[in-house]
Amino acid sequence: MSVIFGVARLTNRERLDASAELALVEQCRRKNFEAFGKIIDAYQARVIGFVRRMVATSEEAEDIAQEVFIRAYQGMDRFDGRSSLRTWLFRIAYNLCVDNARKRQRTVPEASFDESEGSLEMPDHRWDPEVQVLDDELRTVVEEAIGTMSEKLRTVLLLHDKEEMGYDELAGILDVPVGTVKSRLFLARSHVQKAVEVYRS
């Protein structure tokens, strides 16, 4: 179990609604640590789950997840409310994961895609290994395929299909156009599908 600010927390409660978020943010700006604990309760499990899929080790993931909440607490005055608190936290997490990858020089070349060759849209079947991957061996194939993606593709796949974030929210987190989000998601799903097809052949 991870420890954030010395307090053991790893719950997976429902996300806060907008009014509850804003109320907690205002309390955090007044250095109300109990209010920030409620934010940790609401979002820590999702943040750490995302980060664990983006970095090499559990130790790195826990360090980065802790840094996400440290930076959020220290930078609460800069949260302007134009995006949701969840979006803001995942943007911090994504940037820290990218910084970590650069330090480790672990980037993988991103596949190219010519939009003129076909549609970027694919059937929106939510990828969930616990539901769709029926045996451990195939699950391993999928996990390895995700692990070999570039950070850009892996981020879009995990946040869209696991966190159920929409295109607009992802575009805000990644600071890219919605079309780019769709393109990366198409490539990420294709990468996984090819790995599964090779395994089944």
Rounded mean pLDDT of 16-32? 86
For the chain, the farthest-separated pair of C-alpha atoms sits apart, in whole angstroms, at: 59
Query: What pLDDT digit, counting tens, does each position of 70-89 carry?
Result: 999 999 988 888 888 999 99
Decide: 60 and 93 in contact? Cβ < 8 Å. no
Lowest mean pLDDT among 73-87, 129-143, 162-176: 129-143
Confidence of residue 64 (pLDDT cuts 50, 70, 90): very high
Taking the alpha carbons at both ends of the chain, their separation in whole angstroms is 39
Q: Which CATH number fits domain 3-104: 3.40.47.10, 3.40.1370.10, 1.10.1740.10, 1.10.10.60?
A: 1.10.1740.10
| Domain residue limits, the chain | 3-104, 115-200
Rounded mean pLDDT of 22-39? 89
pLDDT score for 5? 42
Of 191, 173, 180, 196, residue with least CA distance to 120? 180
Neighbour count for residue 92 (Cβ, 10 Å): 20
**116 pLDDT more than 60:** no
Q: Which CATH number fits domain 115-200: 3.50.50.60, 1.10.3720.10, 2.30.30.830, 1.10.10.10?
A: 1.10.10.10
C-alpha neighbours within 13 Å on the C-beta side of residue 36: 19
Of 37, 29, 31, 35, residue with least CA distance to 5? 37
140 vs 129: CA distance, rounded Å = 10
Specify the pTM.
Answer: 0.70
Decide: 48 and 2 in contact? Cβ < 8 Å. yes
Instruction: Map tokens 């719950």 to a residue.
Output: 11
User: Angle, nearest 10°, between helix axes 167-174 and 85-104?
Assistant: 50
Decide: 182 and 120 in contact? Cβ < 8 Å. yes
Cα dist from 27 to 68, 138, 145, 152, whole Å? 19, 46, 42, 34
Do 115-200 and 3-104 fall under one CATH topology? Answer: no
62 vs 59: CA distance, rounded Å = 5
pLDDT score for 67? 94
For residues 152-181, one letter each, b for 16 or more C-beta atoms within 10 angstroms of the residue's C-beta and e for the rest, the string is bbbbbbbbbbbbebebebbbbbbeeeeebb
